C-alpha cells in the first residue's frame, strides 16, 4: 500500500496575537495596559522614585548642612526657615531627612545586591546540582534563617564595628538565605520541564542550560523579593541606628533621629514625627512596588 | 546493509526508593529486554499503551537516560558505553521531537535563539551563516522568516511543533526520534504535521523512530512497526503484514479498537479483560497471559521469546 | 509519625551545628584583639590572660570551637564579663519577662488580626476590604519603634493613661502588671498583626472559594455560619502555623520594644551587653534566641502534622 498524501487542511489556525479578523494586536500595548492598571505598582513606584530623587539630589534641594549644630535654633517647630523644624542640636530636620534618604538607599542597595547575588549563587547551585550539595547548602541557609534577622544583624554589626559598610554587608548577609530559597525553588520547578530536557537533547552543557534556559524564568520572583528586602533593609538599618548599634552619629540616619527624639518628646513632638513618617512612607512605597510587581508577573497568585 | 541503529537487549529498571528506612528495593521494569534494528531511510514505529516503555526506549537510545543494561549501536558508536565527552557528537546525528509542543520550547527565548543554539553548540558555520540557515529551515517547515523574532507563546500548538521540528533539522541529523509528535494536537493539525514529517524524510533522507499509541498515525507513516507491552516487544513486522496478519493477541485487540468511519462492514471489537499489570511485578511466564483470551498452560509458566515467523515477521507468543 | 519526627531531628542536627558556628564566629569578626576590645585599654595583663585562657583564644580555632560547643551542650554558655555570673543563669532570669511580652503581643495581634482578616475576606472588594488591606499594609511598614514612641506620646504624655516604662511582675500585682504590659505588647504585636491580617484574608478567600463552602450554602446554611464555623476553622490551622513561624521576627522585635519601654527582658540585656562589650553574654543570648526559635518551629511543625490528617495518615511526606 503506497503512502497517500492527504491534502493539507484548508482552514487557517487562529494565531495568538490575532484578533480573529485579520488584524494583529500590538504586543507592547498589552504590557503597558497591565502596568497602567496596576495601582499598587504605580503609586509605589512614584514613592520610590521620589525618594531616589531625594537621595540623589540631596545637596541640591537642601540649604543647610545635616551635621552643623546651631544651638540658638534648638527645638524649632516647622517654619519657613526650617521646613520640618530643628532638633536638639539645632540641626535642620528636613536636611537631615533628605540626607537620611541617601543613607537608607546606600544601605538598601548594597544589602540587596549582596543578598541577591549570594542567594542566586547558592540557590542555583543547590537547585540545579541537587544531592549532597543541596543538602549542605540548604542546611546552612536554614541555620541563618533560624536567627531573628534583627538579632543576627546586631550580632554581626556589633562584632565588626558599626559603620555604613558593615551595616550594609551585615544586612545583606542576613537576607541571603531568603533569596537562595526563592532561587532554588524556581530552579527546581523549571528543572523538570520538557524544554530543559530538550536543551540537553541538542547537546547543551549543564551550566549553559542553567544560565540560558532556566535562568530567565527565575528572575521575576527574585525581583519581587528584592523590593521587599529593600524595604526590610531600610527598617533594619533604622532599627540598628535607633538602638545605637548602627551608623554612628552624627550620621543622618532616620533611626538615629528617632532615638534622639525620645528624650525630648515633651519638648518637641516634631523631632519624632517627621523621621517616623518618612520611614513609613518609604517602606510602604517599596512594599507596594513589590506587591504590584508580584501581581504583574503572575496575576493568579494575588487575590 | 548495516542498519543505522541497532538496539540489543535494552533494559531500564527504575529503583523505587523509600527514604533511609526502606529495606526492600523494588524496581519498575520500564524496559525489559528490547531488541530491534532500524535501517537508513526507513520509519520504524514503536507502538504501545502508556506504561509500555516505549518512551523510555526513545530516551535510552539518545542517552537522555542511562540504560540499566543492553547495547545501542548507532553509526559505529556504542551509545551505551560512550563517555560523556563523546556524547556531543551523538547529539548532532540523533535528535528528538517531544510530545508537548507547549513545554518543549524555552519560554523566555526568542525562536531565533532557540534555533541557533544547536549550531552554536556544535560550532557549525559563522554567525552570518546561522541566520541564513534559520531562515532556510523555517521556510522548510512551513513558517515565515519573520517568525524568528517572536517568542514561543505567540504561536499555536501546531506552529510550535513545527519549530521543534525545525530545531531538530538545524544540524542535519540522520535519525529523528519522534515521541508522540502529534498526540497533543488537534486532529486537523495532526495531518499537517505528519505530512510535513513525511515530506522532510523524502527530501533529506531522514530515518525516523516513531513512538506513538495512535495506530492510525503509525499506519500512515511507518514502514515497519514494533508493538510493545509491559517493557517488551511482542510483535514486529512490516506495516502491511501487521494490519493484514496480526499474530499476537494483544496486537489483534489493539487493531480492533481503531476507530473507523461508519461505512463498510463493522469490525468486531476484541475486549481485553483486566487492566495492565504494574511493571513492578510483571506476571510470570508470558506477561500478557492474565488478559489473553487464548491462553494455554504453557503461557503461565514459560516466557515466550521473540522469534521469526516467515518473512521479517517476529512475534513472542506460544500460539504460533 | 514517629518516623517523621525522627527525620526532622536528623535534618535539624547539622542546622544547629551551623548556627552555633555562626555565633561562635561573632568574636572572631572583631577587628583587632577581642580581649582588648572587651576589657578596654586599661585592663591589667593578668586580667587579659585570664580572659584569653577562659575563652580559649590562645588555641587553634577548630579546637576552640569544639571546646566551646562542648560547653554549650552541657549548658555552660560562658561567664559574663560584667557580672561574673554564668550567662545561662542571667538568661533564665530575664527570659520570663520577654516571654510574657511576646506571648501578650501574639495573643493581642492574633485576635485583632484574625477578626480583621475575616471581615476583609467576607467583604472582599468593598471599601471595608480595601481599607483594612491598606491599613495592614501600612501597619507592616510603620517601624515598631516609631509606633512605640507615638504610643508613649499619646497615651503616656499627652493623656497619661498607661505607664511608659517599667515592669511589674504578674505575681506581685496582676492589674498593675497588665497595665504596664499594654503599650509594649501593642507595639510589639503591631507589625505581626499586619502580616496575620493579610494571611488570614488570603486564606479565608481561598477557603471560601472551595467546593465545600458552595455545598454548605446550597444546603441552606446562612452566610455568617458558613464563614465562621467552616471556612474560619480551616483557615486557622494555616494562620496559627504562620504565626508560630513569625516568632523569630517577634523575638527580634523584643529588643527594640524592651529598650523603648525599659522592659527588663533579654532584649534589653542584649543591648546593654553590646555596649558593655560583654561578648559571652551577647553570644549566649543570640544563641538562646535562635535555639528557642528552632525549637518552637519544630513544635509547630509537629503539631501541624498532627492536625493535618493528610500528612498524619502517612502520605508520601
Nearest to B106 among A27, A199, A201 (CB): A199
Count of domains in chain C? 1
Cβ A15–B118 below 8 Å, yes or no?
A: no
C-alpha to C-alpha distances, C20 to C72, C90, C284, nearest whole angstrom: 9, 20, 10
* Nearest CA distance, A8 vs chain C (angstrom): 45
C124 in a structural domain: yes
Nearest CA to B190 among B215, B158, B216? B158
Continuous H helices in chain A = 27-36, 39-56, 58-61, 93-129, 131-145, 149-160, 164-191, 194-201, 206-208, 215-243, 254-262, 270-297
Predicted pLDDT of residue B115: 94
Q: What is the CATH number of the domain that holds C120?
A: 1.10.3720.10
Q: Is the pLDDT of residue B19 over 60?
A: no
Non-local (6+) Cβ contacts of C70 within 8 A are none
- The answer to the question of residue B150 being in a domain is yes
Note the pLDDT of residue A5. 41
Measure the CA–CA gap between B318 and C4, rounded to whole angstroms: 50
Calculate the alpha carbon distances from C15 to C8, C20, C244, C251, C285 in Å: 11, 9, 19, 19, 18
> Is B91 in contact with A17 (Cβ distance < 8 A)?
no
* C69 chain-A contacts, CB cut-off 8 A: none
> Which residue in the set B92, B104, B158 is minimally distant from A13, CB to CB?
B158
Write the pLDDT tens digit of every residue in B131-179: 999 999 999 999 999 999 999 999 999 999 999 999 999 999 999 999 9
Q: In what helix (H) or strand (E) does residue A74 lie, and over which residues does it extend?
A: none
Size of interface A-B (CB pairs under 8 A): 88
Tell me, yes or no, whether B171 lies in a domain: yes
- The pLDDT of residue A9 is 38
Minimal C-alpha gap between C44 and chain A (Å): 23
The residue of chain C with its CA nearest to that of A276 is C146
What span, in angstroms and rounded, lies between the C-alpha atoms of B203 and B190?
20
The mean pLDDT value for B8-16 works out to 88
Q: Span C193-206, mean pLDDT? A: 81
Q: Residue A291 has what pLDDT?
A: 85
Closest chain B residue to C10 measured between Cα atoms?
B20
CB A303 within 8 A of CB C205: yes
Question: What's the pLDDT tens digit per position in B66-123?
Answer: 899 999 999 878 888 888 788 888 888 999 999 999 999 999 899 999 999 999 998 8
One digit per residue, pLDDT tens: chain A, 303 residues? 344 444 443 334 444 444 333 334 445 566 777 777 777 888 889 999 999 998 888 888 877 777 777 777 778 788 777 778 888 887 888 888 988 999 999 999 999 999 999 999 999 999 999 889 999 999 999 999 989 999 999 999 988 888 999 999 999 999 999 999 999 999 999 998 999 999 999 988 888 888 899 988 899 899 999 999 999 999 999 999 999 888 887 788 999 989 888 888 878 888 888 899 999 999 999 988 988 888 777 655 433
- Calpha distance C80→C83 (Å, rounded): 6
What is the band of C221 on the pLDDT scale with cuts at 50, 70, 90? low
Cα separation, C172 vs C180, whole angstroms: 13
pTM: 0.83
What chain B residue is nearest to A17 in terms of C-alpha separation? B154
Alpha-carbon distance of A283 to C144, in angstroms, equals: 12
A156, A238, A269 member nearest C29 (Cβ): A156
Q: Does C159 touch chain A (CB under 8 A)?
A: no
Tell whether B73 lies on the interface with A, counting CB pairs under 8 A: no
Q: Report whether A251 contacts A103 (CB < 8 A).
A: yes
- Asked if C74 is an interface residue toward chain B (Cβ–Cβ < 8 A), one would say no
B290, B277 contact by CB (below 8 A): yes
- Neighbouring chains of C at 3+ CB pairs within 8 Å? A, B
C287 to chain A: nearest residue by CA? Answer: A147
| SS3 state at C298 | helix
Residue in B156, B188, B220 closest to A9 by CB: B188
Give yes or no for A12 touching B (CB within 8 A).
no
Joined grid coordinates for residue A40: 499598587
Whether C280 is covered by a domain: the verdict is: no
Using a CB-CB cut-off of 8 Å, the residues of chain A touching B221 are: 3
* Cα B59 from Cα B67, distance rounded (Å): 9
Which residues 139-198 in chain A show a CB within 8 A of chain C? 139-140, 142-144, 146-152, 154-156, 158-161
User: Can you tell me the distance from the alpha carbon of B29 to that of B69, in angstroms, rounded to the nearest whole number?
Assistant: 12
Question: Considering only CB atoms, which chain C residues are within 8 Å of B20?
Answer: 7
Q: Would residue C78 count as lying in a domain? A: no
Residue C245's Cβ-count burial label (10 Å; 0-12, 13-18, 19+) is middle
Beta B5-15 vs B69-74: how paired, if at all? antiparallel
Determine which of A9, A197, A202, A212 to mutate to test the interface with B (most B C-beta atoms within 10 Å): A202
* Pairwise CB contact (< 8 Å): C150 & A276: yes
Q: Which three cell numbers stand for residue B16?
A: 523505587
Whether the upstream peptide bond of residue A250 has omega within 30° of 0, thus cis, is: yes
Is residue A75 helix, strand or coil?
Answer: coil
Identify which of C186, C310, C303 has the alpha carbon closest to the alpha carbon of residue C245: C303
For A56, the grid coordinates are: 540623589
Q: What is the 3-state secondary structure (H, E, C) of chain B?
A: CCCCEEEEEEEEEEECCCCCCCCCCCEEEEEEEEEEEECCCCEEEEECCCCCCHHHHHHHHHCCCCCCEEEEEECCEEHHHCCHHHHHHHHHHEEEECCCCCCCCCCCCCHHHHHHHHHHHHCCCCHHHHHHHHHHHHHHCCCCHHHHHCCHHHCCHHHHHHHHHHHHHCCCCCEEEEECCCCCCCHHHHHHHHHHHHHHHHHHCCEEEEEECCHHHHHHHCCEEEEEECCEEEEEEEHHHHHHCCCCHHHHHHHHCCCCCCCCCCCCCCCCCCCCCCCCCCCCCCCCHHHCCCCCHHHHCCCCCCEECCCCCEECCCCC
Domain with B304 in it: 5-259+267-315
Q: Does residue C285 carry a pLDDT above 70?
A: yes
User: For chain A, what is the largest distance between any 2 Cα atoms, rounded to a whole number of angstroms?
Assistant: 107
Half-sphere exposure of C170 (CA within 13 A, CB side): 9
- For residue C174, CA distances in Å to C97, C170, C188, C261 come to 14, 5, 20, 18
Report residue B230's pLDDT band, with 50, 70 and 90 as the boundaries: confident
ipTM of the complex in this document: 0.84
* Residue C132 is assigned to a structural domain of this protein: yes
Q: Residue B185's domain is classified under what CATH number?
A: 3.40.50.300
In chain B, what residues touch A16 (CB-CB under 8 Å)? 153-156
Q: What is the pLDDT of residue C1?
A: 66
C270 touches C285 (CB < 8 A)? yes
Q: Does C86 touch chain A (CB under 8 A)?
A: no
> How many structural domains comprise chain B?
1
Task: Choose from A198, A200, A211, A216 for mutation: most chain B CBs within 10 A.
Answer: A198
- Note the pLDDT of residue A120: 94
Contact between residue A225 and residue C223 where contact means Cβ atoms under 8 Å apart: no
Sign of CA dihedral A227, A230, A236, A239: negative
Between B98-107, C221-230, C304-313, the lowest mean confidence (pLDDT) is in C304-313
The answer to the question of residue B310 being in a domain is yes
What are the cell numbers at A177? Answer: 538565605
B320 in a structural domain: no
Chain A touched by C146 (CB under 8 Å):
yes
SS3 for C86? strand
Mean pLDDT, to the nearest integer, of B199-217? 91
For C143, which of A148, A155, A279 is closest by C-beta distance? A279
The distance of B281 to chain C (nearest Cα, Å) reads 21
Distance from CA of C141 to the nearest CA of A (A): 5
Which of A150, A156, A283 is the closest to C141 by Cβ?
A: A283
CA angle B256, B259, B260 (to 5 degrees): 100
Return the DSSP state at A299. G
Cβ contact, residue pair A216, B109, below 8 Å: yes
Distance in angstroms (rounded) separating the CA atoms of residues B6 and B209: 12
Cross-chain residue pair B106–A213, CB shorter than 8 Å: yes
Query: Is C24 domain-assigned?
Result: no
- pLDDT value at position C172? 67
Flag if C143 and A150 touch (Cβ within 8 Å).
no
CB B82 within 8 A of CB B260: no
Q: DSSP code of A14?
A: P
- The whole-angstrom separation of Cα C7 and Cα C4 is 5
Contact of A103 with A58, CB cutoff 8 Å: no
Is the per-residue pLDDT at C84 higher than 50?
yes
Contacts C153 to A, Cβ<8 Å = 265, 269, 272
**Cell numbers found for residue A167:** 551595616
Q: For B166-193, how does the pLDDT look when each residue is reduced to its tens digit (9 = 90+)?
A: 999 999 999 999 999 998 899 889 999 9
**Percent of chain B scored above 90 by pLDDT?**
45
List the single residue in B with minimal CA-CA distance to A190: B106
C40 lies in a domain? Answer: no
CA separation for the pair B109, B112 (Å, rounded) = 8
- Looking at chain A, which residue has its C-alpha nearest residue C149? A262
The residue to which cell 510602604 is assigned: A284
- Output C87 or B190, whichever has higher pLDDT: B190
Report the percentage of chain C scoring pLDDT > 90: 1
C-alpha C22/C-alpha A145 separation (Å) is 12
Which tops the pLDDT comparison, B298 or C107?
A: C107
Q: Which three cell numbers stand for residue A104?
A: 537608607
Q: Check CB contact under 8 Å for A154 and C255.
A: yes
Q: Does residue C142 sit within a domain?
A: yes
Between B and C, how many residue pairs show a Cβ–Cβ distance under 8 A? 3
Tell me which H or E stretch contains C187: helix C174-208
Residue B300 in any domain: the answer is yes
Q: What is residue B176's predicted lDDT score, i.e. its pLDDT?
A: 95
Chain B: residue nearest A11 by CA?
B188
Nearest residue of A to residue B105, measured between CA atoms: A195
Average pLDDT, chain C: 79
Q: Which domain holds residue C154?
A: 93-267
Q: Is the CB of C255 inside 8 Å of chain A's CB atoms?
A: yes
Chain A residues with CB-CB distance to C249 below 8 A: 148-150
Query: What pLDDT score was predicted for residue A21?
Result: 38
C10 membership: H or E segment, kind and range: helix C2-29
Least confident of A192-201, C76-85, C303-312: C303-312
Name the helix (H) or strand (E) containing A251.
none
Q: Is residue C3 part of a domain?
A: no
Q: Which of the other chains make 3 or more beta carbon contacts under 8 angstroms with chain B? A: A, C
Q: Beta-carbon neighbour count of residue C46 at 10 Å?
A: 8
Residues of A whose CB is below 8 A from C250: 148
Say whether A260 sits in a helix, a strand or coil: helix
Taking each helix axis from N to C end, the angle separating C279-307 and C266-275, rounded to the nearest 10 degrees, works out to 150
- Do residues C156 and C162 make contact, with C-beta atoms less than 8 angstroms apart? yes
Above 80 in pLDDT, residue C54?
no
More confident residue, C59 or B24: C59
E strand or H helix that includes residue A64:
none
Amino acid at each position: 500500500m503506497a503512502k497517500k498524501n492527504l491534502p493539507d487542511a484548508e482552514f487557517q489556525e487562529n494565531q495568538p496575537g490575532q484578533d480573529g479578523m485579520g488584524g494583529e494586536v500590538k504586543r507592547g500595548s498589552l504590557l503597558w495596559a497591565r502596568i497602567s492598571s496596576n495601582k499598587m505598582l504605580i503609586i509605589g513606584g512614584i514613592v520610590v522614585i521620589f525618594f531616589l530623587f531625594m537621595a540623589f539630589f540631596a545637596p541640591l534641594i537642601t540649604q543647610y548642612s545635616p551635621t552643623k549644630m546651631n544651638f540658638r535654633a534648638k527645638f524649632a517647630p516647622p517654619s519657613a526657615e526650617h521646613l520640618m523644624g530643628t532638633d536638639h542640636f539645632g540641626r535642620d530636620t528636613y536636611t537631615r531627612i533628605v540626607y537620611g534618604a541617601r543613607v537608607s538607599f546606600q544601605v538598601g542597595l548594597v544589602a540587596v545586591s549582596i543578598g541577591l547575588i549570594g542567594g542566586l549563587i547558592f540557590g542555583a547551585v543547590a537547585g540545579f546540582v541537587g544531592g549532597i550539595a543541596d543538602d549542605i547548602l540548604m542546611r546552612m541557609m536554614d541555620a541563618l534563617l533560624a536567627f531573628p534577622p534583627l538579632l543576627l544583624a546586631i550580632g554581626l554589626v556589633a562584632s565588626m564595628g558599626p559603620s555604613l559598610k558593615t551595616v550594609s554587608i551585615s544586612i545583606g548577609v542576613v537576607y541571603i538565605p531568603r533569596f537562595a530559597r526563592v532561587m532554588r525553588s524556581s530552579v527546581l520547578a523549571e528543572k523538570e520541564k520538557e524544554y530543559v530536557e530538550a536543551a540537553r537533547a541538542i547537546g547543551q552543557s549543564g551550566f549553559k542550560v542553567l544560565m540560558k534556559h532556566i535562568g530567565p524564568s527565575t528572575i521575576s520572583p527574585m525581583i519581587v523579593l528584592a523590593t521587599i528586602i529593600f524595604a526590610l533593609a531600610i527598617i533594619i538599618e533604622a532599627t540598628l541606628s535607633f538602638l545605637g548599634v548602627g551608623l554612628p552619629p552624627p550620621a543622618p540616619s532616620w533611626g538615629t533621629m528617632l532615638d534622639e527624639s525620645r528624650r525630648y518628646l515633651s519638648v518637641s513632638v516634631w523631632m519624632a514625627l517627621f523621621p517616623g513618617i518618612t520611614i513609613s512612607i518609604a517602606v510602604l512605597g517599596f512594599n507596594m512596588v513589590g506587591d504590584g510587581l508580584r501581581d504583574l508577573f503572575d496575576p493568579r497568585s494575588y487575590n | 546493509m548495516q542498519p543505522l541503529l541497532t538496539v540489543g537487549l535494552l533494559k531500564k529498571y527504575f529503583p523505587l526508593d523509600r527514604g533511609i528506612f526502606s529495606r526492600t528495593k523494588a524496581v519498575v521494569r520500564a524496559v525489559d529486554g528490547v531488541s530491534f534494528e532500524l535501517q537508513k531511510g526507513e520509519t520504524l514505529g514503536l507502538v504501545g499503551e502508556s506504561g509500555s516503555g516505549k518512551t523510555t526506549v526513545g530516551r535510552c537510545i539518545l542517552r537522555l537516560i542511562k540504560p540499566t543494561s543492553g547495547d545501542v549501536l548507532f553509526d559505529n558508536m556504542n551509545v551505551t558505553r560512550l563517555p560523556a565527552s563523546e556524547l556531543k557528537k551523538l547529539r548532532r546525528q540523533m535528535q528528538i521531537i517531544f510530545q508537548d509542543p507547549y513545554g518543549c520550547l524555552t519560554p523566555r527565548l526568542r525562536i531565533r535563539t532557540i534555533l541557533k543554539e544547536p549550531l552554536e553548540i556544535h560550532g557549525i558555520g559563522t554567525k552570518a551563516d546561522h541566520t541564513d540557515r534559520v531562515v532556510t529551515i523555517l521556510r522548510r517547515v512551513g513558517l515565515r522568516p519573520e517568525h524568528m523574532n517572536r517568542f514561543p507563546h505567540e504561536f499555536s500548538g501546531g506552529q510550535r511543533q513545527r519549530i521543534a521540528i525545525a530545531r531538530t533539522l538545524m544540524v542535519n541529523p540522520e535519525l529523528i526520534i519522534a515521541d508522540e509528535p502529534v498526540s497533543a494536537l488537534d486532529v486537523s493539525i495532526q495531518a499537517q504535521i505528519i505530512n510535513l514529517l513525511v515530506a522532510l524524510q523524502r527530501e533529506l533522507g531522514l530515518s525516523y523512530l516513531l513512538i506513538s499509541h495512535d495506530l492510525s498515525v503509525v499506519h500512515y507513516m511507518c514502514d515497519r512497526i514494533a508493538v510493545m507491552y509491559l517493557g517488551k516487544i511482542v510483535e514486529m513486522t512490516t506495516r502491511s503484514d501487521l494490519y493484514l496478519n496480526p499474530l499476537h493477541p494483544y496486537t489483534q485487540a489493539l487493531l480492533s479498537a481503531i476507530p473507523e468511519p461508519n461505512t463498510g462492514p463493522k469490525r468486531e471489537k476484541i475486549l481485553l479483560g483486566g487492566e495492565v499489570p504494574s511493571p513492578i511485578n510483571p506476571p510470570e511466564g508470558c506477561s500478557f497471559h492474565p488478559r489473553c483470551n487464548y491462553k494455554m498452560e504453557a503461557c503461565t509458566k514459560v516466557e515466550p521469546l521473540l522469534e521469526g515467523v516467515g518473512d521479517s515477521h517476529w512475534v513472542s507468543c506460544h500460539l504460533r | 509519625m514517629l518516623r517523621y519526627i525522627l527525620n526532622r531531628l536528623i535534618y535539624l542536627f547539622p542546622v544547629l551545628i551551623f548556627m552555633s558556628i555562626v555565633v561562635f564566629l561573632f568574636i572572631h569578626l572583631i577587628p583587632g584583639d577581642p580581649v582588648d576590645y572587651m576589657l578596654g585599654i586599661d585592663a591589667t595583663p593578668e586580667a587579659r590572660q585570664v580572659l584569653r585562657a577562659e575563652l580559649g583564644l590562645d588555641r587553634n580555632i577548630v579546637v576552640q570551637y569544639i571546646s566551646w560547643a562542648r560547653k554549650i551542650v552541657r549548658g555552660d554558655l560562658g561567664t559574663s564579663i560584667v557580672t561574673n555570673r554564668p550567662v545561662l543563669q542571667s538568661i533564665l532570669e530575664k527570659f520570663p519577662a520577654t516571654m510574657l511580652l511576646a506571648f501578650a503581643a501574639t495573643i493581642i495581634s492574633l485576635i485583632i488580626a484574625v477578626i480583621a482578616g475575616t471581615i476583609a475576606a467576607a467583604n472582599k472588594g468593598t471599601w471595608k476590604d480595601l481599607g483594612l488591606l491598606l491599613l495592614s499594609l501600612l501597619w507592616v511598614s510603620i517601624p515598631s519603634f516609631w509606633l512605640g514612641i507615638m504610643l508613649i506620646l499619646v497615651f503616656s504624655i499627652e493623656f497619661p493613661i498607661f505607664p511608659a516604662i517599667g515592669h511589674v511582675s504578674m505575681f506581685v500585682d496582676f492589674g498593675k502588671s497588665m497595665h504596664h504590659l499594654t503599650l509594649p505588647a501593642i507595639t510589639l504585636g503591631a507589625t505581626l498583626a499586619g502580616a496575620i491580617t493579610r494571611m488570614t484574608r488570603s486564606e479565608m478567600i481561598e477557603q471560601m472559594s472551595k467546593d465545600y463552602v458552595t455545598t454548605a450554602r446550597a444546603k441552606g446554611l446562612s452566610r455568617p455560619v458558613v464563614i465562621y464555623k467552616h471556612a474560619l476553622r480551616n483557615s486557622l490551622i494555616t494562620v496559627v502555623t504562620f504565626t508560630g513561624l513569625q516568632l523569630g521576627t517577634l523575638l527580634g522585635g523584643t529588643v527594640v520594644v524592651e529598650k523603648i519601654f525599659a522592659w527588663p527582658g533579654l532584649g534589653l540585656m542584649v543591648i546593654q551587653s553590646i555596649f558593655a562589650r560583654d561578648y559571652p553574654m551577647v553570644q549566649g543570648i543570640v544563641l538562646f534566641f535562635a535555639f528557642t526559635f528552632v525549637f518552637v518551629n519544630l513544635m509547630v511543625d509537629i503539631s501541624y502534622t498532627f492536625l493535618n490528617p493528610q500528612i498524619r495518615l502517612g502520605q508520601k511526606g
